[in-house]
Amino acid sequence: MNSLHSTIPTTFSTGNSFRSINLNGNQLEGPLPRSLENCRNLEVLDLGSNKINGTFPYWLEGLLYLHVLVIRSNKFQGCIGKPKTKFPFPNLRILDISNNEFNGPLPIKYFKYLKAMTNVNDGKVALKYMGDEYYQDSLDVVMKGLYTKLVKIQTIFTTIDFSNNSFKGEMPKIIGRLKSLKGLNFSHNNLTGYIPSSFGNLHNLEWLDLSFNKLSGEIPRQLVDLPWLEVLKLSHNQLTGFIPSGKQFNTFDNDSYTENFGLCGFPLSKMCNNHEAKKPPPLVSQQKDNLEPENGFGWQAVSMGYGCGVLFGMLVGYLMFKVGKPKWIVRMVKLEEHIMLRRLKKNAQRHGGKK
């Protein structure tokens, strides 16, 4: 964090004792000197926020004690090829190459051999910090989407940041083996394909940022089982299907999924067809013109009256069957017969006594 400029000196001699080199936040330019590979005891190399150019420094992969490699925000470019050694970066725990001009596919071979990122149960480093009794390393990192100053770097802190480059192709499944990872950031690239279900094995992961790519397919259900996942960013992709629910996924808001027009389910307002309650059509509004007359008696009143009439008729029939004809019905029949006889007599008198 000064105003140092020009190039980095090339005079790192064989057998030097450098353990930490921090030139972050200056105006240094030009390529990295190959003589850095003479720093056989180097644990921390932080060259972020400069104007350094060139290709990926693969020749640093032979530094057996290198824990931190930060070349963020420079002018590096090109593809990251295959490793040149059998076991590259065996103790690397923090790898930040974000905000450069790297392109091509993600370096599968390097992910395969990052052994220090798989030793999640390594009790020897659980309570230690990088440094010694005279000097402890510090580092600026992007954690959970925010720049954070680590005054001390715990040796179990493990993160990969490849964001803001031009990487393309699919994300390798083998990343699921890096079970020590706390953070993984591949945002702002041109990555395609599915999110590997093997990411569900990253049980120490606290933030995952895959936003601003061209990822497709569904969100793996396995991610729900990540117990420490606090920040999830999948926005601005081409993901589809139902958003998994449960556990940490119930805490994420719309910002985690925006601009994925094929996604549906909570917390988005767009519901999935196979998870929607199928509501019946509103009969009153749809059938009002056909079934409701002008006098105000609609189909509801007709159906209620019809139902009541049927029940009343059944009840009367049942009573007549059980107790016989009631007396009031017999009297009504006799009265009707008497009235008819009187009418017949009057008619006969009018017609001269003829029957």
Residues above pLDDT 90, as percent of the chain? 59
Which residue in 30, 29, 39 sits closest to 59, CA to CA? 39
| pLDDT for res 48 | 95
Q: Give mean pLDDT, residues 317-328.
A: 50
Strands 159-161 and 214-217: unpaired
Q: Residue 17 corresponds to which tokens in the numbers above?
A: 């004792």
Of 303 and 293, the one with more pLDDT: 303
Residue 24 has pLDDT above 90, yes or no: yes
CA distance linking residue 278 with residue 19, whole number of Å: 66
CA distance linking residue 32 with residue 21, whole number of Å: 13
Domain hosting residue 53, numbered range: 5-275
Predicted confidence band of residue 314 (pLDDT cuts 50, 70, 90): low
Q: Bridge partners of 69?
A: 45, 95
Residue 290 has pLDDT above 50, yes or no: no
Predicted confidence band of residue 306 (pLDDT cuts 50, 70, 90): very low
Q: Give mean pLDDT, residues 290-315.
A: 45
Tens digit of each residue's pLDDT (9 = 90 or more) over 245-263: 999 999 999 999 999 999 9
- Which H or E run contains 326? none
What's the per-residue H, E or C state across 146-192?
EEEEECCCECCCCEEECCCCEEEECCCHHHHHCCCCCEEECCCCEEE
Residue 294 has pLDDT above 80, yes or no: no
Residue ending a domain, among 232, 249, 275, is 275
Would 283 be classed as within a structural domain?
no
Report the chain's mean pLDDT, rounded to a whole number. Answer: 82
Residue ending a domain, among 243, 275, 307, is 275
| pLDDT for res 326 | 54
Would 166 be classed as within a structural domain?
yes
| pLDDT for res 302 | 40
Q: Is the same domain home to 71 and 115?
A: yes
340: left (phi over 0), alpha (psi -120 to 50) or beta: alpha
Based on the structure, what is the number of domains in the chain?
2
| pLDDT for res 131 | 77
Degrees, nearest 5: CA angle 169-170-171: 130
Residue ending a domain, among 275, 305, 334, is 275
Q: Is the same domain home to 266 and 307?
A: no
> What CA–CA distances, in Å, run from 237 to 5, 209, 259?
39, 12, 7
Q: Give mean pLDDT, residues 98-102.
A: 97
| pLDDT for res 156 | 83
| pLDDT for res 244 | 94
Q: Is the same domain home to 295 and 161?
A: no
Tens digit of each residue's pLDDT (9 = 90 or more) over 219-234: 999 999 999 999 999 9
Q: Quick check: 90 and 64 in contact, CB under 8 A?
A: yes
Would 85 be classed as within a structural domain?
yes
Would 173 be classed as within a structural domain?
yes
Q: Is the same domain home to 255 and 313?
A: no
Tens digit of each residue's pLDDT (9 = 90 or more) over 86-99: 899 999 999 999 99
Q: Is the same domain home to 266 and 295?
A: no
Would 282 be classed as within a structural domain?
no
Q: Residue 292 corresponds to which tokens in the numbers above?
A: 């409701």
Of 20-24, 46-50, 239-243, 325-329, the poorest mean pLDDT is in 325-329
Q: Is the peptide bond before 267 cis (omega within 30 degrees of 0)?
A: yes
Q: CB under 8 Å to 278, separation ≥6 — which residues?
A: none
Chain-centroid distance, C-alpha 331: 83
Would 201 be classed as within a structural domain?
yes
Which residue in 51, 44, 72 sits closest to 142, CA to CA? 72
